[in-house]
């Protein structure tokens, strides 16, 4: 188990920022959000403000803080505009250099590099865009291990985005991770959401692990009136990904991707803000299927329901996680992990490994 103090200690949080989030490959955005020239996505990511922007088809990432007098450059979470600072009008190019600036003679001279924005290397895996916060020694491919192919495949299933939201949690980021690595809690916490859909009773299936990332299927049981439900969803029967489960992937340290029977998809992004504060940025997607106008009219309310359900699920979890955050200050028992929580064990192992700077750790059996 991870020591309980690691869930609320400020020095540990700062160490996590340095070792886990402030270095190496971090998920930042989806390609679909950055498809057109000038599209951008910003993310306040553990001690950095990052902007990823499309420059005539090329993706580049920078610190989203102006190199003149430190104004924030792109103000939205995402949008479409030049990389133009709104304070004195410096306009940055794809190298991070201010190619357009009023009264340029006052600034341009011998050492123009100091006027450049800090750059972050960008790489993509299918639909998923990552930046390298530095200090790492591996390529994105190496970082993702066997899950590179899984992410690439999942990205191909995503259709139109149907929801984009941020949900603040008064809880440590690791509690959000542990919560989604098991569905043991589903039959108690998600009585109104997962249970009526048929997930939560059967044991975890097909758990896979590689390089700190993991995936599993949470199998589904057919529900009363299943036939009727299938008929109602028949316009999606040509979808490319069809499985009778909730399929969940965790990419260390900050990305969740899940599929609900291939009928809807979720991408969750963890943004730790403090030892006891985490922002969950979430996106939902329909499956990639060509729909006639008649089927589009049928799908729209289904997507609206699925979005409402997704927010409700997150709220059900958030309420518990915030209780756990309070409880962990007081806990005096060692804690326990069951077979259905096996992905948590793997997360703890990889966390300890990464916090030790990639050195094989000596794990405590229990705290």
For helices 173-180 and 293-330, the axis angle rounded to 10 degrees is: 120
In the complex with ligand FES, the residue whose CB is nearer, 76 or 203, is 76
Task: Determine, following the binding rule CB under 5 A, whether residue 317 of this chain makes contact with Fe ion.
Answer: yes
Only segment of 34-42, 80-88, 293-301, 353-361 that touches ligand FES (CB under 6 A): 80-88
What is the rounded CA–CA span in Å between residue 217 and residue 223? Answer: 18
Instruction: Find the Cα–Cα–Cα–Cα dihedral 77, 80, 86, 89, rounded to 10°.
Output: 150
Q: Which does 88 bind (CB under 5 to 8 A by kind): ligand FES, Fe ion, none?
A: ligand FES
List 76, 87, 146, 334, residue binding ligand FES (CB under 6 A): 87
In the complex with ligand FES, the residue whose CB is nearer, 98 or 253, is 98
Residue numbers 90-109 binding ligand FES by CB under 6 A: 90
> Could you tell me which residues come within 8 angstroms of residue 313 by beta carbon, excluding any fewer than 6 positions away?
190, 193, 194
- Quick one: which H or E segment has residue 278? strand 277-287
**Sheet with strand 128-132: strands edge to edge:** 25-30, 128-132, 122-125
- Kindly report whether the peptide bond that precedes residue 209 is cis, defined as omega within 30 degrees of 0: no
Task: Determine, following the binding rule CB under 6 A, whether residue 267 of this chain makes contact with ligand FES.
Answer: no
CB 299 within 8 A of CB 291: yes
Give CA separation, 126 vs 12, 36, 52, 352, in Å.
33, 17, 16, 29
In the complex with ligand FES, the residue whose CB is nearer, 2 or 66, is 66
What is the rounded CA–CA span in Å between residue 99 and residue 93? Answer: 6
Task: Determine, following the binding rule CB under 5 A, whether residue 178 of this chain makes contact with Fe ion.
Answer: no
Residue nearest to Fe ion (CB): 317
Q: Minimum distance from CB of 69 to ligand FES (Å)?
A: 4
Q: Which does 326 bind (CB under 5 to 8 A by kind): Fe ion, ligand FES, none?
A: none
In the complex with ligand FES, the residue whose CB is nearer, 111 or 332, is 111
Phi, psi of 162 (to 5 degrees): -115, -15
Q: Minimum distance from CB of 192 to Fe ion (Å)?
A: 12
Only segment of 87-95, 225-233, 262-270, 292-300 that touches ligand FES (CB under 6 A): 87-95
In the complex with Fe ion, the residue whose CB is nearer, 84 or 195, is 195
Q: Minimum distance from CB of 63 to ligand FES (Å)?
A: 12
Helix (H, G, I), strand (E, B) or coil at 143: helix
CB 244 within 8 A of CB 261: yes
Helix (H, G, I), strand (E, B) or coil at 215: strand
**CA angle, 296 as apex, 292 and 298 as ends, to 5°?**
120
Q: Which does 69 bind (CB under 5 to 8 A by kind): Fe ion, ligand FES, none?
A: ligand FES
List the x/- string, 45-74, binding to ligand FES by CB under 6 A.
Answer: ---------------------x-xx-x---
Q: Which does 317 bind (CB under 5 to 8 A by kind): ligand FES, Fe ion, none?
A: Fe ion
Only segment of 88-96, 119-127, 236-244, 260-268 that touches ligand FES (CB under 6 A): 88-96
Helix (H, G, I), strand (E, B) or coil at 205: strand
Q: Minimum distance from CB of 84 to ligand FES (Å)?
A: 9
Which residues sit at the interface with Fe ion, rule CB under 5 A?
317
Which residues sit at the interface with ligand FES, rule CB under 6 A?
66, 68-69, 71, 85, 87-90
């Amino acid at each position: 188990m991870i020591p309980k103090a690691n869930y609320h200690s400020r020095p540990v949080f700062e160490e996590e920022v340095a070792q886990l989030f402030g270095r190496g490959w971090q998920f930042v955005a989806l390609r679909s959000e950055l498809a057109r020239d000038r599209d951008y996505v910003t993310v306040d990511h553990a001690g950095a403000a990052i902007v990823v922007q499309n420059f005539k088809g090329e993706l580049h990432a920078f610190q989203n803080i102006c190199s003149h007098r430190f104004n924030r450059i792109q103000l939205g979470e995402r949008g479409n505009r030049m990389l133009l600072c709104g304070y004195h009008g410096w306009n940055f190019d794809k190298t991070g250099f201010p190619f357009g600036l009023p009264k340029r003679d006052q600034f341009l001279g011998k050492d123009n590099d100091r006027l450049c924005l800090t750059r972050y290397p960008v790489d993509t895996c299918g639909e998923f865009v990552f930046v390298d916060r530095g200090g790492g020694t591996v390529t994105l491919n190496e970082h993702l291990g066997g899950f590179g192919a899984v992410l690439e495949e999942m990205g191909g299933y995503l259709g139109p985005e149907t929801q984009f939201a941020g949900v603040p949690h008064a809880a440590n980021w690791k509690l959000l991770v542990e919560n989604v690595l098991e569905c043991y809690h589903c039959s108690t916490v998600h009585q109104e959401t997962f249970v009526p859909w048929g997930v939560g009773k059967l044991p975890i299936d097909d758990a896979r692990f590689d390089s700190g990332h993991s995936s599993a299927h949470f199998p589904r049981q057919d529900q009363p009136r299943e036939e009727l439900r299938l008929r109602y969803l028949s316009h999606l029967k040509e979808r490319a990904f069809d499985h009778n489960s909730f399929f969940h992937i965790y990419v260390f340290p900050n990305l969740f991707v899940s599929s609900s029977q291939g009928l809807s998809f979720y991408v969750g992004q963890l943004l730790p803000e403090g030892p006891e504060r985490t922002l969950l940025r979430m996106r939902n997607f329909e499956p990639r299927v060509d729909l006639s106008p008649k089927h589009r009219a049928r799908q729209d309310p289904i997507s609206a329901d699925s979005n409402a359900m997704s927010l409700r699920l997150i709220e059900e979890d958030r309420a518990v996680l915030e209780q756990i955050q309070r409880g962990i200050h007081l806990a005096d028992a060692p804690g326990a992990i069951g077979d259905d929580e096996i992905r948590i064990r793997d997360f703890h192992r990889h966390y300890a490994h990464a916090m030790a700077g990639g050195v094989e750790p000596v794990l405590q059996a229990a705290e």
